[in-house]
Amino acid sequence: MNIKMKKNKIMLLVFSLSFLVSCKNGGENDMPKTVNVEEEAKEESSSDVDIASISDYLFEKLDSQKLVRNYGEDTGWTNLEFSSDGNFTGSYFGKIKNDGYDGGLTDYAWNWHRGEEIHTSDFKGKFKIIEKVNDYVYKMKLDNFEITSENGRYDDIYINVDFALGIKPDADYYLYIPGTPAKYLPGEDSRLDKNYKKEDGSKDKTQGFIIWNKYEDEVFNQLSL
């Protein structure tokens, strides 16, 4: 295969991944979706894929996007905000019942504030795409991850912790592009099976970007944004 033909194949695959990235509040019509994918692009084998080119394209689309780990009221909250090249910053907010960490402020928080000990952290990191699973799913690893907030108690009942729920530095992560058919989800009672589209979504496809932490079965999505 000459260089021109290979470039054409890569460009065809890239165009097949084109999608709208507008994550405002609203129903299914406001969520990012893939457009129709060309059949011959679907048939491209992994050996024909330039991971570096695909990474550049996907991370360009993720630039300025926010993804959140949250399963409803009082389940803890971790958000990721992407910049260029897979870099992200974020923050965590949770309580003992969410993450299991006890900083010893429970009695004080209740006696003085009728509240609970609160855990927070700020962080930064970078994802790297290492494998194409299929046309919709890409395996990632954390290239780096760092807690940037100072560990310890502050502001009475708040404690900066050295972790963020949903993020484990050595875990395998999977990036699902908007419009991924549900048949490509992991199944096996994964949290992802219940957190890939809004309840009123009529199509059995993912809405918005999704990052799934396989090791801890944690889901970052755009459904609550």
Averaged over 68-74, what is the pLDDT? Answer: 93
CA dihedral 103, 104, 107, 111 (to 10 degrees): -70
- Judged by average pLDDT, the poorest of 21-30, 48-57, 140-149 is 21-30
Q: What pLDDT sits at residue 20? A: 40
Q: What pLDDT sits at residue 214? A: 96
Which CA distances in Å does 70 have to 44, 114, 129, 132, 141? 35, 24, 24, 27, 21
Q: What pLDDT sits at residue 199? A: 82
> For residues 20 and 60, which has the higher predicted lDDT (pLDDT)?
60
Mean pLDDT of the chain: 84
144 found inside a domain: yes
147 found inside a domain: yes
Q: What pLDDT sits at residue 10? A: 45
pLDDT, tens only, 169-205: 999 999 999 999 999 999 878 999 989 998 877 789 9
How many residues can be counted in the chain? Answer: 225
Q: pTM of the predicted model, to two decimals? A: 0.80
23 found inside a domain: no
Number of compact structural domains in the chain: 1
28 found inside a domain: no
Chain position carrying tokens 């990191």: 125
pLDDT, tens only, 119-160: 999 999 999 999 999 999 999 999 999 999 999 999 899 999
50 found inside a domain: no
Q: What pLDDT sits at residue 60? A: 97
Which CA distances in Å does 73 have to 76, 101, 160, 222? 8, 19, 21, 16
Domain extent at residue 75:
56-221
